[in-house]
Amino acid sequence: MISDEILTRKQQRFLLKRQTLQRAWRITGPVVLVLLVLAGAALFFNYPLMFNPYESMARLEAGTLADSTLQLMALLLPIAMVMVFVMLVVVVLLVFAVIDNDRKYLAIIERLHQVRQ
């Protein structure tokens, strides 16, 4: 770690927290990604009407969809759209967090640059 006279305690804690997160994410990130892909594939094959638009269209054109299934799909579509927009809001909020962390990193770099001069 960098000595006390160069960085404040708050900046040192911030960097230590980020280092810990970076180490943990090297394992956690790929595991989460693989689990998401596997879950998506399982849902795609086990529930084709909910996750495979081609299957839904084929059954709709063939007239083999039950009325109750059509009603359920019509009910779930607005819920799915709301969830998509909630996810988009979450992504934008995460971008704000990333930008805030970048601002902190830039402040640390600027402080280190000033100390070296």
- Write the pLDDT tens digit of every residue in 68-84: 988 988 889 889 999 99
Confidence of residue 50 (pLDDT cuts 50, 70, 90): confident
33: pLDDT strictly greater than 80: yes
pTM of the model: 0.67
15: pLDDT strictly greater than 60: yes
**Phi then psi for 49, rounded to 5 degrees?**
-70, -25
HSE-CB at 29 with a 13 A cutoff on CA atoms is: 6
Tell me what pLDDT residue 7 has.
82
Confidence of residue 11 (pLDDT cuts 50, 70, 90): confident
